[in-house]
Each structure stands twice: as structure tokens, then as C-alpha cells.
Chain A
Amino acid sequence: MQGALALLESESSRVFTQTRYDEFRRKELIFRVPRQPEEPLRDYVTDTGLAEPPSWLQSNSSPVDEVLARAAQQTASALRLTKKLLERIVELKRLGAEEELPWSKSSEDDFWDFVSLWPGLSEPGLILLDNGNLRAVWRNNSGEQVALEFKGDRKVLYVIFSRRRDENEVARRVGEASFEQIVELIELESLGELLRGEG
């Protein structure tokens, strides 16, 4: 948009009207790409021919910019989490070798699959069990937790401590579930925010 305005302002008139705009569109446009930063423009269009400029033009960033910025932020945060978890997995492999514990590749694969299911996931506490499986735990300050042992074959052993609204006591749930079932249960217990580090 700024490029077009710049071209318009180099015409003889400084007034941008619908007629001049149509005339301008008929011409062949050649955009010059500067090799180095240019001096800021000193002359501006003073009349767009519209009573009020569109709202998106008034804001500093367009809705598209905001969506792109959010997507970039999410990607950066997912990359940061992946890096942290990779470092932890490497550490657990080393500790497991030192403590002569087995390592379950299918548990690790399931862990990564689960992580990819949750955009905006926060970093869980991650430990290695004596049977070689990984166990991940998300907690908050209210005593709630979602702890998942990844058993392979997209199955988890869960230990969930949740606090219902208007209830002081913590409800404790234990069981085995498929990925689909545990995702449903976490949402049902309103613990999705806990996994995202917001609860």
C-alpha cells in the first residue's frame, strides 16, 4: 500500500481521488526496489476520497499480522519445549544407563505423539520408571495433577488429582486409557489448562 501511495504522490497532483486512482491503475506499474534504505517520504496523500479510512488502516497491525505473529509465537514456544524435552530425554537415557534401567522406545514414541497432540503444552516433570517407561506429570499450586505413564501402543496409565469447583477435597482417579480416552478425560475434568500451564 505504501508503495502505491508513493507512486501516486510522485504524480503532478497530490490529491488522491477515485478518478486518479483508476487512471493510475491503467498505467503500467514499475516498483523500484531500493538497494539501501531511502529517506522517509516528506509528502503525503491528504484526501482518500473516503469519509473515514478503514479501521484496519488505522491500527498498527492488520488482523493477518496478528494471526501470523501468534502462529510464530506458538511455533517458537513449541520449539523451545521440544528442545527442553529432548535435553531431558537425553539426561534420562544417561541416568537410566547409570542406574541399569531398561529403556522403552515405544514409551518414548508415545510420549512424543502425546506432546504433539497438545498445542501450547507446558513442560511436564519427566522421569524414568524402573520398567523403562516414561512418566510425565503436570501439576499446579492447587494440588491438582495429571500424571501419565506411557506404556506403548498409545496407552497410558493415568493418576489424576483434580479439584472440583465448590469442593475442598481433591478427587483422585486412576486407570488405564487410550490416547483418545485420556484426552477426553482431561477435557472432562477441565484440566486442559493445567497441561498448558494456565491452570
Chain B
Amino acid sequence: MAKGDLIPHDNHVLRHVGKSKVEQDGRVNGAAFMLRSCEEGLSVQWRQAAGDGSVADQLQAILRVLSARRKVRKTDYLVELPVGQTRARVLESARQLTLEVELRFEHHPIEQDEFGPEDPFHSEIRGIPELEEGVAMALGDIIAECVSSQYSVNAI
């Protein structure tokens, strides 16, 4: 697939989340899905791009690449979003905030650079508009409601 291609609806992406964004009962808070300034999209990893093996194999491959490029702590999580369901849910729920949010899950592999080796799984959730802090937080909460699985780095 070429850079910027859309990820199929029945696939999944994983977001690397620090434990400070995970509530006491293990639920991921919407703050984990806030776009940082100067970010064009939410950085995620495309799970199915890591081969046709088991989920455990896919997770290990992704974690290996991720750890080579950034600091990953044992207490961190990889949080999974189903592409199609998240798009539909966010489109519907954001309308209640009088927002039209059409998320696009795009594949944006990274080539080897000064930060580390290539990352063929890297993708981005685009289509998040520039929003006031409160509205961005509400949108994060809506995305967080779509989390289908989460994996502790320690257990991968």
C-alpha cells in the first residue's frame, strides 16, 4: 500500500498510551486521544500490517519497532480501535457536539531516520479538526468509547 492509503474498515489500529491516561479500573481515558499541537493526525500502528500471524505475533512485531523508535515503558498499553466502527461512532456522536468529524485511518509508514529504524506499521488517524480544548477532550472521550481491546506492554 502507498503512503496515505486508507486502512480497510475491518482492520484495527493500536495507540501507544502511558499508564497515566488509564483510570483505576483499567479504562482508557479520552485524554489518550487528544491531538498534540503540531500533530496532523493521531499516531497509531496498523495491526494487520504486521502480517497474517496471531494477534500475539502482530503485537510483538509492532512493539519491537515501536520500542526501537521511542521510549516504551512496561507499564504502558497498546490500545486497539476497530477502524470501521470507530469512524461510524465518531461521525454520529460528534454531531451532538455540532461537529462533522469524518475520521480517516491512513497508512503512513516511516522510513529509517535519526530516530530509529523504519516503521512499516505506522499510521495516523486524520480528519480531527482543530478544536477548542474542551471540544477536543469530548471528541477524545467519544473515541475512547470505541476501544475494543487493550494490551499491557508487560504482557506482550
Contacts and interface: CB of A to CB of B under 8 A. Distances in A.
Interface of A: 88, 92, 95-96, 98-99, 101, 123, 125-130, 135, 137, 145, 147, 149, 157-159, 161, 169-172, 174-176
Contacts of A98: 73, 75
A5 B25 CA distance: 55
B29 A145 contact: no
* Most chain A beta-carbon contacts within 10 A, residue among B22, B34, B75, B141: B141
Contacts of B73: 98-99
B93 interface: yes
Interface string B4-40: 0000000000000011111111010111001010000
Contacts of B22: 127
Contacts of B91: none
* Most chain B beta-carbon contacts within 10 A, residue among A99, A149, A157, A176: A99
Interface band, chain B: 20 to 34
B134 interface: yes
Contacts of B42: none
Contacts of A123: 24
A96 B20 contact: yes
Contacts of B133: 157
* Most chain A beta-carbon contacts within 10 A, residue among B20, B75, B135: B20
Interface of B: 18-25, 27, 29-31, 34, 36, 73, 75, 93, 96-97, 132-135, 137-138, 141
Contact of B27 (A125, A128, A170): A125
Nearest to B98: A172
Contacts, number: 69
A174 B135 CA distance: 6
B134 A174 contact: yes
A192 to B, nearest CB: 20
Contacts of A95: 18-20, 75
Q: Which 5 A-B pairs have the closest CB atoms?
A: A125-B23, A174-B134, A128-B20, A95-B20, A159-B138
Contact of A92 (B20, B25, B31): B20
B18 A159 contact: no
Given A128-B20, A172-B97, A147 B27 contact: no
Contacts of A96: 20
Contact of B141 (A92, A101, A126, A145): A145
B80 to A, nearest CB: 19
Nearest to A145: B141
B18 to A, nearest CB: 5
Contacts of A157: 133-134, 137
Contact of A172 (B29, B132, B138): B138
A147 B138 CA distance: 9
B134 A127 contact: no
Contacts of B138: 159, 172, 174
A149 B73 CA distance: 25
